Amino acid sequence: MAIDLFSIGKLTIHGYGLMIALGFLFALIYGTIQCKKKGLDDDFFFNLAMFVLVFGWLGGKVMFIIVEFKKFLISPMSVIGSQGFVVYGGIISGIATVYVYCRIKKKNFFEYIDVIAAAVAINQAFGRIGCFLAGCCYGRETDSWVGVVFPQGCMAPAGVKLIPTQLFSAAFDIGMFVVLCILINSRKYIKGIPTSVYLIGYAVGRAIIECFRSDERGSVGMLSTSQFISIFICIAGIILLCFILNNNKKRMNND
């Protein structure tokens, strides 16, 4: 793990930033290939991805400000200018962006949100590797063989063995990506199923991994902020799944 990977003159390449960039690039390449394979408009997907990137980032930052609102009132710029970001804010605003843009351009929302969901999953995997390099989002202390000792200079406490929650999250995100790819390319593919599976799967996985994290973050009662939001995201995913399956059943009966 390393915050700074290497320097080219006065330009320093940071591990976290590089992984975020690579994740988005990989997601963009995957989405473009997938759109061509499914007969979708890859140019539209590219433009959509750009909007999702911008508004997803803004949504994540706004959610972070909400979570850290007390600190924001005391020192606004310390919150706005920090690296703080709440993933769920990005997911919610990202979904809203896809819906609005598809409506404006008269494209099928579920066809594109399914591809976006898989692209986001692999992007998140790279992002969590970036977290590992920076030492953020770290886990609790442990004596287990899986424990990782972070060096001085990282955001994680140095010199003690910590659960590498970032790597567990990355592995889970890669698994989600594989599952979503299988669903999207299945002969029995049903529009919207991959998105609902992503919402349910990510919510459950995030709620579990939060139990092993030890970094400072917001809370709602006994739950972390992300665990609290996970409840509603999971419910939304289940409702969406039931709605899609019910509509598909009615369509098949009518046929």
At residue 201, does pLDDT exceed 90? yes
Q: Report the C-alpha gap between 168 and 212 in whole angstroms.
A: 10
Strand partners, 219: 224
Report pLDDT for 61.
85
Q: Percent of the chain at pLDDT above 70? A: 91
Q: Report the C-alpha gap between 157 and 141 in whole angstroms.
A: 9
The mean per-residue pLDDT over the stretch 50-54 comes to 93
Strand partners, 139: 213
The mean per-residue pLDDT over the stretch 34-46 comes to 94
Report pLDDT for 14.
65
Can you give the pTM of this predicted structure? 0.90
Strands, E assignment, 90-133: none
Q: Report the C-alpha gap between 107 and 99 in whole angstroms.
A: 9
How many residues would you count in the chain? 255
Report pLDDT for 1.
54
Q: How confident is the model at residue 10 (pLDDT cuts 50, 70, 90)?
A: low
Report pLDDT for 103.
95
Question: Any idea what the Cα angle at residue 203 is, between residues 201 and 208, rounded to 5°?
Answer: 95
φ and ψ at residue 14, rounded to 5 degrees: -90, 140
